[in-house]
Structure 1
C-alpha cells in the first residue's frame, strides 16, 4: 500500500485549526519517531505524514468554488458528500465511511457510481464543467488511467477535446495554472507508470495542453529512455526522476524555455534548457567542420562551459541522422570519457621535476592534456 487517504468532517467550524491538522498533531504526539514526515498545508486544511513508511494524507472535508475558469478555488469546509462532489473522476469520488463505534465495519459511499465505472474500465469526469474549472484534471485522468488500466469514456473524451479547443491558457494570464500543471507533471513522471500516462495524453490529443509540438512528437518515448540510460552512466549527482524526464520531454521543442517559464520550473532546470539551446545552435554550426579531433572538440565544449547534462539531453533528443555521426560519436565519447581525462604527467609531477608554478605551467598542462586526448580513439 503506497499511501492512505483519510477525510474527516469539521464538526465545529471556527478559529481553531481544521480537523485534519488537529488529528495530525495528535498522531505525531502519540507515535513519536514512527512519524518521519510531517507537513501541514494551511490553504486547504490538509496534512501529510509518513508513518512507518506509509504516506498518510489527512484532509478536512471541503467544498470548492472556482471564481473564474482555471483560477485557484475558494475553499470552505463542508460535508463528506460535498468533498466527494468536488473530485475529478467518479473512480476517485468513493469513500469507505468508518464507524468510530465499530472500527471493524465500514460502508461504501459512492454517489457517482465510481464502482460501476471501475467495472466498465472507464474514466468519467464528475461534471460537464470539470475541465473548464481546472484543465489539470486531464493529467490526473492520465495518472489514474495508467495506474488502473482505464481509459476515458466517450463523453469525457469529448469534454477533453472541447476544453483543449476553447481554453486560452497559453496567454499566460493565469500563472497559478502553470504551477498546478507542473505539480501534476511531477506526480505523473515521478510516481506513476509515466510511459503509459503520456501515451494516454497523446491518444487524447491532450499533450497540446503543454505545447502543440509535443502532441505531434512521435519520438518522446525513445528520447526519455535514452536520457535515463545516459544519465545513469554519468558520475554526477542524479537529478530527481520527475525533473529529468520533464526536461527530456521538453528537449526537442523549438522554444522549451517559454514552456519552462510558464510551468515555473526551478531555476536550475531553466538554466539547463538555456545551455541546451546554446549547445544546439553550436552543433548546427559545428556540423560543417571536418577536422574535429578529440582535443579540439573537448576544448570547444569546455570553453563554452557546456554541462554534461546538456550534452546528455542533446544526445537523447537528436538521432545520428540529424547531425554527422562522427560529431555525435565525439560528443558521446566526451560525455563518457574525454571530459574526465587529465594531463599526464600531472602538475605535481611537473613541479617535482623542477618546473615553477605559474601561467607557463598551466599552458604546459593544457598542451599535455591535448596530446593525451588526441591519442584517444574517436
Structure 2
C-alpha cells in the first residue's frame, strides 16, 4: 500500500527548511523567470529526496519542459552568475554567490534517453517531465516538485520513490539500468552508504550480473574517474568502498580493498581539513596497492596534476629511511619536497617510529615560520642573488637545531654575517650558524 501524498503546505515547509535563505531567494527568482518565459519548472532528484529526509539541500537541480538555456541565461543575467552551457544535452550550470554563499544551479531540459550499446553515452531528445523521471537511476531519485508561480508546489512521484525512501530501500527503475550506465553501480554504493539504505534483492541481482559481465571495464575512464571523485567526497567513503568490495566491483575500477581504511579514513577526518581529505583518501588507497597496480591506475585514468604528483612522489617517499629516530634538520631535508597529503597518508598507515617522525615534521617542523625572509634581507641592504638561499638555509638549520629561536637572535646572527669582510659575495653562512 502506497504512502498517502503529503499536502502542499507540508511540502512547502519541508522545502523551506532544507534550503538556506540564499538558496530560497535564488529559487524564487528562478520560478519568477521561468513563469515569464512560460517554461514549466521542476525541482528534481536529490534536492527533493533530501528535503523529504529533512537533510539540507546542497545544490539546486532544475528541469524545465522546454529550452533550459533560456532559463539559465535569464538566471545568470539576473544574478551575475557564471554560465556554463553543455550543447550535447542542452543543459546549463549557473555558478553564483548570493548573500556571501556560493551556489550552483543545474538547469536541464527534460529529456528521454536511448542507449545504443551497453555503457555507451545516451542519445537524447526533448521530452516531458514524466519521461525525464523515467530515465533516472533509482526510484528515490525520481521525485520532483512542480514549482508554481504562486508559491505552490506539487509532488510528482511516478515510481513510488517516497515509499522506498520511507522504507530505506534502494530500487532500480528497470532491468537494463546497469547495462545502460554501469556507473550507477558506484552511485548505488554512495546512496546506500550515505543514506543507510538496503538494496532490494532484485536490484542486487542486477548489480551482480553487471559486475560478472565486467561492464565497468567497458565504461570510459573519464566517467569512472568522475564517479571515483564523487565517492571520495562522500561523508564516509570507506562505507561505499566496502560495498563495492562486497560486490566485487573494485578490481574493475583499478582499486584494491584493505580493511585498514575503516581505521585510516575516519582518523583522517578527525584530524585534517575537509578540502585535503580526497587527496589523502586517494593516497591511502594507493598505499594499499602494489606498485604495479598503482602504475596501471595512473595509466588508465587522466589524473589531474595533483594526483599525478602524488603518484610520482609516493615510491620515493616510501624509500626514505624513516624507520629510525631523526632530528629536525634531517626530517626537513628528507620531507620538505613532498606533498602534505602524501605525508599525512603515510603517517596514518605506518608503524610507530615512521609515524612519530612524520607527525613531528607535520605538526612541529613544517608549520614553523621562517625567522627572516628574502624581502627582509633586501631591506637590510644585502644584494639579491644566490647568497639569499645560502643565508636562509643556514638560518633555517640553526632554527631547527634550536640555536636560533627568535627574530632578534636571527638579526644578531645576520649582523655577524655582515661583519664578515666578504658579506654579500663569497662568505660561508655556516661559519656563523652558532649564536
Q: CA deviation at 1:23?
A: 0.9
Check the 8 A contact 2:192/2:240 in 1, yes or no. Answer: yes
Partners of 1:76 and 1:364 in 2: CA distance = 76
- Partner of 2:286 in structure 1? 250
Determine whether 1:158 maps to 2:211. no
- Partner of 1:299 in structure 2? 333
Q: CA deviation at 1:168?
A: 5.5
Determine whether 1:351 maps to 2:413. no
Alignment of 1:83-98 (within 5 A): 83-98=132-147
Q: CA deviation at 1:28?
A: 2.8
Partners of 2:74 and 2:362 in 1: CA distance = 52
Determine whether 1:278 maps to 2:316. yes
Q: Once superposed, what is the RMSD of the aligned Cα atoms?
A: 3.2
Which one of the candidate residues 183, 206, 228 is aligned to 1:185? 228
Check the 8 A contact 1:186/1:242 in 2, yes or no. Answer: yes
Check the 8 A contact 1:123/1:150 in 2, yes or no. Answer: yes
Check the 8 A contact 2:332/2:361 in 1, yes or no. Answer: yes
Q: CA deviation at 1:203?
A: 4.6
Partners of 2:312 and 2:271 in 1: CA distance = 20
Point out where structure 2 has 5 or more consecutive residues left out of the alignment: 1-18, 20-56, 371-395, 399-403
Which one of the candidate residues 428, 431, 434 is aligned to 1:361? 428
Partners of 1:326 and 1:66 in 2: CA distance = 54
Q: Look up the SS of the partner of 1:26 in the other structure.
A: helix
Larger Rg: 2
Q: Look up the SS of the partner of 1:356 in the other structure.
A: coil
Check the 8 A contact 1:98/1:107 in 2, yes or no. Answer: no
Check the 8 A contact 2:268/2:277 in 1, yes or no. Answer: no
Alpha carbons of structure 1 residues 49 and 147: separation in structure 2 relative to 1, 3 Å? farther
Partners of 2:231 and 2:132 in 1: CA distance = 23
Q: Provide, for residues 293-346 of structure 1, a one-character-per-residue CA deviation record: whole Å limited to 9, x for no partner.
A: 5444443445xx434433222112x231xxxx3343223222333454712465
Alignment of 1:46-85 (within 5 A): 46-50=91-95, 52=98, 53=101, 54-85=103-134
Q: Provide, for residues 236-258 of structure 1, a one-character-per-residue CA deviation record: whole Å limited to 9, x for no partner.
A: xx855444433333332223343
Alpha carbons of structure 1 residues 154 and 350: separation in structure 2 relative to 1, 3 Å? farther
Alignment of 1:1-378 (within 5 A): 1=19, 2=57, 3-10=59-66, 19-29=67-77, 31-33=78-80, 36-50=81-95, 52=98, 53=101, 54-98=103-147, 104=152, 106-110=154-158, 112-167=159-214, 169-170=216-217, 174=219, 177-190=220-233, 192-211=235-254, 213-214=256-257, 217-228=258-269, 231-232=272-273, 239=275, 241-254=277-290, 255-283=293-321, 287=323, 292-301=326-335, 305-316=337-348, 318-320=349-351, 325-339=352-366, 340=368, 342=396, 343=398, 344=404, 346=410, 348-354=414-420, 356-358=423-425, 360-364=427-431, 368=433
Check the 8 A contact 2:194/2:236 in 1, yes or no. Answer: yes
Q: Provide, for residues 76-101 of structure 1, a one-character-per-residue CA deviation record: whole Å limited to 9, x for no partner.
A: 2222222122111111123234566x
Alpha carbons of structure 1 residues 98 and 312: separation in structure 2 relative to 1, 3 Å? closer
Check the 8 A contact 2:211/2:249 in 1, yes or no. Answer: yes
Alpha carbons of structure 1 residues 333 and 356: separation in structure 2 relative to 1, 3 Å? same
Partners of 2:187 and 2:215 in 1: CA distance = 20
Partners of 2:105 and 2:325 in 1: CA distance = 60
What TM-score does the superposition give when structure 2 sets the normalisation length? 0.66
Check the 8 A contact 1:64/1:86 in 2, yes or no. Answer: yes
Q: CA deviation at 1:195?
A: 4.8
Alpha carbons of structure 1 residues 292 and 44: separation in structure 2 relative to 1, 3 Å? same
What TM-score does the superposition give when structure 1 sets the normalisation length? 0.75
Q: Provide, for residues 86-144 of structure 1, a one-character-per-residue CA deviation record: whole Å limited to 9, x for no partner.
A: 111111123234566x652525241x332332233211111212112222112222332
Q: CA deviation at 1:267?
A: 1.5
Check the 8 A contact 1:7/1:58 in 2, yes or no. Answer: yes
Q: Provide, for residues 161-184 of structure 1, a one-character-per-residue CA deviation record: whole Å limited to 9, x for no partner.
A: 2222221645xx65xx32222222
Check the 8 A contact 1:164/1:206 in 2, yes or no. Answer: yes
Q: Look up the SS of the partner of 1:40 in the other structure.
A: strand
Q: Look up the SS of the partner of 1:282 in the other structure.
A: coil
Partners of 1:125 and 1:251 in 2: CA distance = 34
